[in-house]
Amino acid sequence: MDETSQKIIDAAMMLVRDNGYVATTTKAIAKAAGVNECTLFRKFKNKKDIVLQGVSQAGWRANITPEIFENVQWDLQADIEMFMKAYMDRMTPDFVNLSIGLRAPQLYEETSSLIMKVPQAFLSSFTQYLNKMFDLGKIPKADFDALALTVFSSTFGYAFLNASFGNELSKVEKDEYIKSSVKMFIKGLEQ
């Protein structure tokens, strides 16, 4: 990937994040990248090609991989907090908004598998963690797939609402939310 192509990709992804896919034009991409439209079309087939190449880059996917969830202590409270915090630290408002822009009907068939890598990384890592905690005798047997989905949904919900509304909807800060949610989750697991 040459420097000009990367500038075009970065410009396109920022515009999709800020304006959505449909409202992002090749003219706007070229202007934001500091190139003319002819250069854009020499490097890429069309707008969709630019965005698909961008979404394939790890830097435009919030870098949420199973590896970020490996720092477990085998302490339920600390570990669930780590899972939630690791996700929320990477799933910034920018990435939430970009994810929304990438769900345009014109792109979704090609982007859905890449978008799903983020929740899949969380869900598979957390389910494996819960199974290992059960094997270690630290938690009772439960439907760990459903529990992982519950924790992920709570984590995703906070990140999405925070990206959409900031603290206008709720004044609950991230760390307070994580601690409170984890306490409720553990209490439910113990019953």
pLDDT tens, residue by residue, 169-185:
888 999 999 999 999 99
Q: Are residues 45 and 84 in the same domain?
A: no
Same domain for 102 and 120? yes
Q: Are residues 69 and 148 in the same domain?
A: yes
* Burial profile 109-120: b = 16 or more Cβ within 10 angstroms, e = fewer: eebeebbeebbe
Residue in the structure block whose two tokens are 């790890």: 58
Sequence-ordered list of residues with C-beta below 8 angstroms from that of 73, at least 6 positions apart, any chain: 79, 82
What is the reported pTM? 0.84
Please answer whether residues 126 and 159 qualify as being in contact, where contact means their C-beta atoms are separated by less than 8 angstroms.
no
Domain of 182?
Answer: 59-190
pLDDT (tens digit, 9 = 90+) per residue, 135-172? 999 999 999 999 999 999 999 999 999 888 888 888 89
Asked if residue 52 lies in contact with residue 120, where contact means CB atoms within 8 angstroms, the answer is: no
Residue 37 belongs to domain with CATH number = 1.10.10.60
- One domain, residues 35 and 88: no
Number of domains in the chain: 2
SS3 state of residue 139: coil
